[in-house]
């Protein structure tokens, strides 16, 4: 069964997410209007700047329709800023910043630091198959190469949230010491979120996971 996954096309890595979803077997469309949102089986909220996306959602009159569809059970995957948009609670946000909500987590915005503090690392990720011909150091089952760019992390999860990936507890080159053990990927029912950007790593397995979630 082929399903249609929308990618919110207001800001961020829209093209990269669509390419990864299509590699995972989904049909994709850009979503900018409520009628486009109404026609999809799932939605990706890409990275970008969470406060800007929040404002654009209001300008394009997508915020309330999207909240309603999330409440109805629409499968949604949020990466980086998309994780912030899905979170019920934010730390470090602006005074007027709103989220779409639905994901029972507390997220800290820009937790890893500024753009210059961006980094890459390999993480164990629950529910992913081994990658054939994977990157050196990421060959173990369920490992994913994660790219963090001004990323959030999850400080607290509710009882219905499954933790899929954490930063390793041990110190590693390039990773802030305060990040050790922090939660960076979660799932709650049909909602999936990552702090990092799998769409730019060349590995479509996180998107394959989301397509499976969207198929139900």
Pick out the residues of the known binding site.
48-50, 109, 149-150
125 CB contacts (<8 Å, ≥6 apart)? 142, 143, 144, 164, 165, 185, 206
Do β-strands 87-91 and 103-108 pair in parallel, antiparallel, or remain unpaired? parallel
Look up 16 and say whether it is catalytic.
no
Active site residue 199: yes
Catalytic one of 17, 199, 207, 208: 199
**Residues paired with 188 in a beta bridge:** 191
Residue 171 bears catalytic tag:
no
Binding-site positions for L-glutamine: 48-50, 109, 149-150
Residues forming beta bridges with residue 49, ordered by sequence position: none
Which of 16, 17, 145, 197 is the catalytic position?
197
Q: For the residues of 172-199, what is the DSSP string, one character each?
A: -TTS-GGGTT-EEEEEETTEEEESS-GG
Three-state DSSP class for 54? helix
Chain-centre distance of CA 203, in angstroms?
14
Q: List the catalytic residue out of 16, 80, 207, 208.
A: 80
Q: Give the separation between CA 166 and CA 184, rounded to whole angstroms.
A: 5
CA distance 168 to 175: 10
- Catalytic residue IDs: 80, 197, 199
């Amino acid at each position: 069964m082929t399903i249609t996954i929308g990618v919110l096309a207001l800001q961020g890595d829209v093209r990269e997410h669509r390419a990864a979803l299509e590699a995972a077997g989904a049909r994709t469309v850009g979503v900018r209007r409520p009628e486009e949102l109404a026609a999809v089986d799932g939605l990706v909220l890409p990275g970008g700047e969470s406060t800007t996306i929040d404002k654009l959602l209001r300008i394009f009159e997508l915020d309330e329709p999207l909240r309603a569809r999330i409440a109805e059970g629409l499968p949604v995957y949020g990466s980086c800023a998309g994780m912030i948009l899905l979170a019920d609670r934010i730390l470090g946000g602006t005074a007027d910043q709103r989220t779409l909500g639905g994901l029972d987590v507390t997220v800290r915005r820009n937790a890893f630091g500024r753009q210059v503090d961006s980094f890459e690392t390999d993480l164990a990720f629950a529910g992913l198959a081994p990658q054939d011909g994977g990157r050196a150091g990421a060959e173990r089952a369920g490992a994913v190469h994660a790219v963090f760019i001004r990323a959030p992390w999850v400080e607290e999860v509710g009882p219905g949230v499954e933790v899929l990936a954490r930063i390793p507890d041990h110190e590693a080159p390039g990773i802030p010491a305060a990040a050790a053990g922090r939660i960076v990927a979660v799932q709650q029912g049909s909602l999936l979120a990552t702090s990092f950007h799998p769409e730019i790593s060349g590995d479509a397995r996180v998107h394959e996971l989301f397509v499976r979630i969207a198929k139900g």
